[in-house]
Chain A
Amino acid sequence: MRAHVTNTEVVIDVQGLTKSFCKFQALRGLDLQVERGQVHGFLGPNGSGKSTTIRVLLGLLKADGGRVHLLGKDPWADVVELHRRLAYVPGEVSLWPGMSGGEAIDLLGTLRGGLNEKRRAELIQRFELDPTKRGRQYSKGNRQKVALVAALASDVELLILDEPTSGLDPLMENVFQEVVGEATQQGATVLLSSHILAELESLADRLSIIRDGQTVEHGTLTELRGRAKTSIHAEVERIPEPADLAALQDVHLDGKRLSATVESDRIGQAMALLTGYGFKSLTVEPPSLESLFLRMYEDDETTGVKE
């Protein structure tokens, strides 16, 4: 997998990143590689270190150890130069209470080095945002829209989005996905931290899953799926001997009803085995993202570390 990464340009390159706050170790050797032009899903349970990683990438926190490169530069030392080329949407959008949304968008956009006026107007319209409301009057979703418009209205190379849609309604979620799609078509790279699995499924080219400040899985969705198991439910004509089903896992036999799981790359083998007993019915379910994540979030041993 590493070989694949080195062939293309790596926009975010984090290796062995560590960061502690007093005695609490937030990051313990985290790895993250994001290639140019891709949407990279970044996920993990609450408190696993996603926001801390993003703040290190933004030069807001100083890394204790490890290697962090952003667009080939050091995020702590080359802050201003890097920030001209990226835009950020924080997880908790806190607006200035007395400042209107329109003013906040112009403030953040201008400080970054200018906004694309046409894009700004278009995004405000598509996100159905009222820019004249004051910061304290916006709901959570509308505060996020302000931050999204401010970030997406600039022509930048890299978008860092920290759970940007947790307060958006499904309609606005669609708009968000369209807009991010358009950004990548124009060559932007996106680091997308999110818990909304449907969003990741439709947007993310690659994923990194972290837990307790470490990367536990990374790869394309297909690769991750390949490592997960497919579940099989069948009603068979002849009852098989349990010993004959060694190729399957989690076997559960209830009369003629059989349920089991199998490694995704061994489905063919499993089918061949089961055909011998005759089917009345058969369901084969590929692993859903949800089951994938549930398994990874729940696992107590970090057996998934692949380095």
Chain B
Amino acid sequence: MSASVTGTTPLLRTSLKHDGRLIAPWIVLATALSASSVLVYPSVFPTAQDRAGLAAAIGANPALGLIFGPASNLTTVDGFNAWRSLALGGFLAALMSIFTVTRATRGQEDSGQAELLASGVLGRSSRLLTAVAMGVIGSLVLGIVAGFVTVVFGGGAESSLLLGATFTATGWMFAAFAAVTVQLGSDARTANSMAIGLLGVLFLLRGFLYSIGAPAWTSWANPLGWMTETRPASGNHWGPLLPAVALAGIVLAIAFKSQAHRDFGQGAIAPGPGPARGGNPSPLRLALRLNRGSFTTWTVAFVALGLVFGYFTTSVTTILGANSGVAHFLASGAVTPAQLTGAFLVTVLALVGIVASISGVQVMLKVRSEEMEDRVEPVLATAISRRRYYASNVVVALGSPAIYVLLAGTLIALIASHADLGVSFGGVLRQVLATVPAVWTVVAMSVTVIGARPHFRLVAWIGVLASFVLTLLGPTFGLPNWILGISPYWHVPNTTAPVHANTGLLWISFVTALFLVVGFAGFGRRDVAR
């Protein structure tokens, strides 16, 4: 064993030094998520009455449960933090681990650095061990920093540290899963997609099964369910962390076993020979072609989202009926079930839109990575103008999320309209269409960033992040309208309501146009590949 890990220590030291800065933002995000809860909660919800109101509001919005999981104790600051941060913090830690492990293994094999390293005095398993160690250390630091900073800002010691420990455990499990997917996929992108796909499925299943009150074994069958079962601030069970560590160990053993048997640079899934001729190419077809793999992944994801949300919509009145406050409103006739379903649909479709905007931003970031890998130069050296090249990519970036929203939305509309909820297929579809312009505004922001200031490409994600936070958490925190209005989804009218105005859509489309103009002007003027 020792010969196969020769050289790990110096490689790990160098890797941490160089890639550590790529891990840091994830630690900051997870820490901010957890610490901001304990910082904000006492001032926003000072009285017991406010807190009961919060619990009622969250109970009345089942869409939140899909993302955040069950809320067991919203009347204390730690319970609130556990509800708000557990699922998302673990999600962030898992993404960090996946990206770190893939970058240090497949990513290096793709770029050729690994060949330089492997020809040195380095054991067969050293690179994988280094990558896994980086994921493990990164997750550990993330959990510790998030836990302690939360305590410093006023969180309860045990529940905050347990919360941090769930982040770490989730990170470890996905470092292990990523160590396996990099053996399977033959390039970094495939390996990343497989690991993130697994994360997405487990994440969605957890929220869904908790929300519909599925039997308890379903949460124990899901590694992410173990994290929820630790129940920080409402029980503080450390036990469920053990199976997580055990699972990470077993999966890692599989990864190292298959690493020892695989040829350098090859994966279990090998590509076959390609066509000798290229058909009739155009910049648009090139853009479609380059994103073909992610189209498949996203399409599957949105079919799943549509089915889950559709099914969820049919049970929304039942779930809400169990909530005493809402039941009271329903009984008094102040709210009809159709109105409840309508309001729920607005939120759920906004959520679909936010997820879809991620795919659009990815297309724009791909433009930049193509540029930095010297593949845009030969294309721009042909008779294709910059405007046409950029426009082809922008069309894909705006078009594909719109199709995803329509796909999931149509499924939701089909299921909801057959369930005797008082909503029609056409009515839901109108709401779906009204959501699309908001998705475009968020994606258009990334068009501006990549076109005009590509060095700050992380800024391209700000639109997605802001709309997520403001749409899902803003109303719960009672933020003023002018802040909520920063999110384009706030301007999407409830078209199922008898009276609604569409002026908001005009305004956000104006902003979209502005973003596009700036993006195109920037891309036309700047140096390429600098």
Tell me the A residues contacting B by CB distance below 8 Å: 21, 55, 58-62, 79-81, 83-84, 86-88, 90, 92-108, 110-113, 131-134, 136-137, 147, 150, 160
User: Which residues between 246 and 302 of chain B lie within 8 Å of chain A, taking CB atoms?
Assistant: 271, 273-283, 286, 289-290, 293
Known: A60-B381, A136-B187. A79 touches B375 (CB 8 A): no
CB <8 Å contact, B374 and A88: no
The chain A residue with its CB closest to the CB of B281 is A107
* Known A60-B377, A61-B527, A131-B276; 15 more pairs at CB < 8 Å: A55-B377, A59-B380, A60-B381, A60-B528, A80-B385, A83-B380, A83-B383, A83-B384, A90-B374, A107-B281, A111-B382, A112-B383, A132-B274, A136-B110, A150-B378
Q: What residues of chain B lie closer than 8 Å to A134, measured between beta carbons?
A: 271, 273-274
CB A85 to nearest CB in B, in angstroms, measures 9
> In whole angstroms, what is the CA distance A80 to B283 when docked?
14
The chain A residue with its CB closest to the CB of B525 is A62
Q: What residues of chain A lie closer than 8 Å to B382, measured between beta carbons?
A: 83, 108, 111-113
CB <8 Å contact, A102 and B276: yes
**Residue B530 interfacial (CB < 8 Å):** yes
CB <8 Å contact, B187 and A133: no
Q: What residues of chain A lie closer than 8 Å to B381, measured between beta carbons?
A: 58, 60, 83, 86-88, 90, 160
Please indicate which of the listed interface residues A58, A93, A104, A111 has the most CB atoms of chain B within 10 Å of its own CB: A111
Q: Please tell me the number of chain B residues within 8 Å of chain A, measured between CB atoms.
A: 37
Known: A94-B374, A111-B383, A133-B273. A104 touches B528 (CB 8 A): no
The chain B residue with its CB closest to the CB of A86 is B381
**Residue B373 interfacial (CB < 8 Å):** yes
CB <8 Å contact, B379 and A111: yes
CB <8 Å contact, A100 and B187: no
Q: What residues of chain B lie closer than 8 Å to A100, measured between beta carbons?
A: 273-276, 278
Known: A60-B377, A84-B383. A97 touches B187 (CB 8 A): yes
CB B113 to nearest CB in A, in angstroms, measures 15
**Residue B386 interfacial (CB < 8 Å):** yes
Q: What residues of chain B lie closer than 8 Å to A83, measured between beta carbons?
A: 380-384
Contact of B277 among A95, A106, A112 (CB under 8 A): A106
> In whole angstroms, what is the CA distance A108 to B278 when docked?
10
Contact of B380 among A58, A131, A137 (CB under 8 A): A58
> In whole angstroms, what is the CA distance A201 to B119 when docked?
37
> In whole angstroms, what is the CA distance A60 to B377 when docked?
7
CB B375 to nearest CB in A, in angstroms, measures 5
Q: What residues of chain B lie closer than 8 Å to A93, measured between beta carbons?
A: 374, 378
**Residue B529 interfacial (CB < 8 Å):** yes
> In whole angstroms, what is the CA distance A100 to B290 when docked?
13
CB <8 Å contact, B275 and A103: yes
Contact of B384 among A62, A80, A101, A160 (CB under 8 A): A80
> In whole angstroms, what is the CA distance A1 to B122 when docked?
58
The chain B residue with its CB closest to the CB of A79 is B385
> In whole angstroms, what is the CA distance A55 to B525 when docked?
14
What are 22 residue pairs bridging A and B, where the CB atoms are less than 8 Å apart in the complex?
A58-B380, A60-B528, A62-B526, A79-B385, A80-B383, A80-B385, A83-B381, A83-B382, A84-B383, A87-B381, A90-B381, A97-B187, A106-B277, A107-B281, A111-B281, A111-B283, A111-B383, A113-B383, A131-B277, A133-B274, A136-B187, A160-B381
CB <8 Å contact, A107 and B278: yes
CB <8 Å contact, B375 and A95: yes
> In whole angstroms, what is the CA distance A108 to B525 when docked?
23
Q: What residues of chain A lie closer than 8 Å to B529, measured between beta carbons?
A: 55, 60
Known: A60-B527, A97-B110. A102 touches B383 (CB 8 A): no
CB <8 Å contact, B280 and A110: yes
> In whole angstroms, what is the CA distance A95 to B273 when docked?
15
Q: What residues of chain A lie closer than 8 Å to B384, measured between beta carbons?
A: 80, 83, 111
> In whole angstroms, what is the CA distance A60 to B525 when docked?
10
CB <8 Å contact, B281 and A110: yes
Tell me the B residues contacting A by CB distance below 8 Å: 110, 187, 271, 273-283, 286, 289-290, 293, 373-375, 377-386, 525-530
CB A74 to nearest CB in B, in angstroms, measures 14
CB A89 to nearest CB in B, in angstroms, measures 8
Please indicate which of the listed interface residues A80, A90, A133 has the most CB atoms of chain B within 10 Å of its own CB: A80
> In whole angstroms, what is the CA distance A86 to B374 when docked?
19
> In whole angstroms, what is the CA distance A86 to B293 when docked?
33
Q: What residues of chain B lie closer than 8 Å to A132, measured between beta carbons?
A: 273-276
The chain B residue with its CB closest to the CB of A62 is B527
CB A299 to nearest CB in B, in angstroms, measures 30
A-B CB proximity, top 8 nearest:
A100-B274, A106-B278, A103-B278, A111-B382, A88-B381, A112-B382, A102-B276, A94-B374
CB B189 to nearest CB in A, in angstroms, measures 8
CB <8 Å contact, A79 and B386: yes
> In whole angstroms, what is the CA distance A93 to B110 when docked?
15
CB B311 to nearest CB in A, in angstroms, measures 36
Q: What residues of chain B lie closer than 8 Å to A107, measured between beta carbons?
A: 278, 281, 286, 379
CB B389 to nearest CB in A, in angstroms, measures 9
CB A28 to nearest CB in B, in angstroms, measures 18
Contact of B378 among A61, A99, A147 (CB under 8 A): A147
CB A199 to nearest CB in B, in angstroms, measures 22
> In whole angstroms, what is the CA distance A93 to B379 when docked?
12
CB B1 to nearest CB in A, in angstroms, measures 32
CB <8 Å contact, B530 and A61: yes
Q: What residues of chain A lie closer than 8 Å to B530, measured between beta carbons?
A: 21, 61
> In whole angstroms, what is the CA distance A29 to B110 when docked?
38
> In whole angstroms, what is the CA distance A71 to B282 when docked?
26
Q: What residues of chain B lie closer than 8 Å to A86, measured between beta carbons?
A: 381
Contact of B278 among A92, A98, A105 (CB under 8 A): A105
> In whole angstroms, what is the CA distance A122 to B382 when docked?
22
Known: A103-B278, A107-B278. A96 touches B290 (CB 8 A): yes
CB A251 to nearest CB in B, in angstroms, measures 49
> In whole angstroms, what is the CA distance A90 to B276 when docked?
22
CB A247 to nearest CB in B, in angstroms, measures 52
Q: What residues of chain A lie closer than 8 Å to B378, measured between beta carbons?
A: 88, 90, 93, 108, 147, 150
CB <8 Å contact, B283 and A106: no
CB A140 to nearest CB in B, in angstroms, measures 10
> In whole angstroms, what is the CA distance A108 to B389 when docked?
13
Q: What residues of chain B lie closer than 8 Å to A21, measured between beta carbons?
A: 530
Known: A79-B386, A80-B384, A108-B382. A102 touches B527 (CB 8 A): no
Q: What residues of chain A lie closer than 8 Å to B375, measured between beta carbons?
A: 94-96
> In whole angstroms, what is the CA distance A139 to B226 when docked?
47
CB <8 Å contact, B380 and A102: no
Q: What residues of chain A lie closer than 8 Å to B277, measured between beta carbons?
A: 102-103, 106, 131
> In whole angstroms, what is the CA distance A105 to B278 when docked?
8
Q: What residues of chain B lie closer than 8 Å to A84, measured between beta carbons?
A: 383
> In whole angstroms, what is the CA distance A286 to B483 when docked?
79
The chain A residue with its CB closest to the CB of B528 is A60
Q: What residues of chain A lie closer than 8 Å to B385, measured between beta carbons?
A: 79-80
CB A189 to nearest CB in B, in angstroms, measures 16
> In whole angstroms, what is the CA distance A136 to B278 when docked?
17
